[in-house]
Structure 1
Amino acid sequence: MLGYLEDIKTILNDITGADFPWLDMDAPLDQVPGLSVDDYTLMLIRLEEKYNIEIDVDELESLHDFGDLCLLIVSKTA
């Protein structure tokens, strides 16, 4: 699952130009300093494209941290 987290960090870096070395599985999705709603939306779109998955709104509402997001990606790519 760490590979998925590294992909998320890379995508966020591409979007914002910032590094996120502190970002880990326990980091809350809604508390990343400097990320806007548009940044999150673009991150999710890029994850969907990269892994050829679809993440719907109901699934997003159940996610609390980046670990949950990684688990969702794992479940959809398995």
Structure 2
Amino acid sequence: MAGMIGSGQAFRQQGLSALNQAADMEDRRERTNQQIDQQEDAGSMQMAGMGAGLGASIGAGTAVGGPVGAALGLAGGLLADSLL
């Protein structure tokens, strides 16, 4: 009987070990996905900032042109980011 109990305990330990490994793998996958999302967000912000800067520089010749150009450049940057 003791042999069966020992076998059952070993089997239980193996199962728990496999569950812990699966949980660790899931945790690593979640962290990697979060890092990818953060990098994509940073790329989007960079593209929008470049568009806004370009629009502002184009429209800088007039008092209203700068802000309007920046807004249009921002929209263009966001559009370009969504297409790429």
Please report the TM-score for the alignment, with normalisation by the length of structure 1: 0.31
Q: Which has the larger radius of gyration?
A: 2
Q: Which has the higher helix share?
A: 2
Structure number with higher relative contact order (C-alpha < 8 Å, ≥ 6 residues apart): 1
